[in-house]
Amino acid sequence: MSIETRLAALETRLRIVEDRLEILDLLNSYGPLVDSGSSAAAAALWQAGGGYDFTLPGGCTTRLQAPDDLVAMYESAGHQALIGTGAAHFTGTPKISVHGDTACAVGYSFVVLQEGERWFVWRAAVNEWRLVRTGEGWRIAERSNRALNGSDESHAMMRRVSEI
């Protein structure tokens, strides 16, 4: 194998590693941004027009579009009450697959709330992120979030980890 071939292979591998680290940084920025009330910065993790599809209490789902719908949710009375009492939106380390200028990540997320002196997991969910490389770096194109409530839909999303 020539030096040029080996160097090209090494550059390709390095690019994938750098992409994965940038994606991890992006996804791990979400919690601190939403928990600190940085609504516009949190919404900017998405590409314009991208979506966040999640389970509502009661089991139905909704989809919010970036950036305006996301900013409105983060600035809503309900979200402000969560962060006002102490909350941590935690993204577990996902499995990431990079394919050129697109990527997919599957993993868990948790919302930890404070109640008096006690901290507890208020919500646990599985997430699938579809990401795209933009001129500003990696951005979320779509995020699907399903509560870990034993549903067929949440189990199907968890199984997608083996597909990426």
146 phi and psi, to 5 degrees?
A: -125, 130
pLDDT at 16 exceeding the cut of 90: yes
Asked whether the whole model's pTM tops 0.95, one would answer no
Q: Count up the domains in the chain and report the number.
A: 1
Strand runs labelled E in 7-101:
46-55, 61-65, 87-91, 95-99
Q: What is the pLDDT of residue 77?
A: 97
Q: What is the CATH number of the domain that holds 92?
A: 3.10.450.50
pLDDT at res. 59: 77
Asked if residue 93 lies in contact with residue 26, where contact means CB atoms within 8 angstroms, the answer is no
104 CB-near residues (< 8 Å, 6+ apart): 96, 97, 128, 129, 130, 131, 164
pLDDT tens digits, 21-46: 999 999 999 999 999 999 999 999 99
Which amino acid does the sequence have at 68? D
CA–CA dist 17, 20 (Å, integer) = 5
pLDDT of residue 118: 94
The residue segments making up the domain with residue 123 are: 3-162
SS3 75: coil
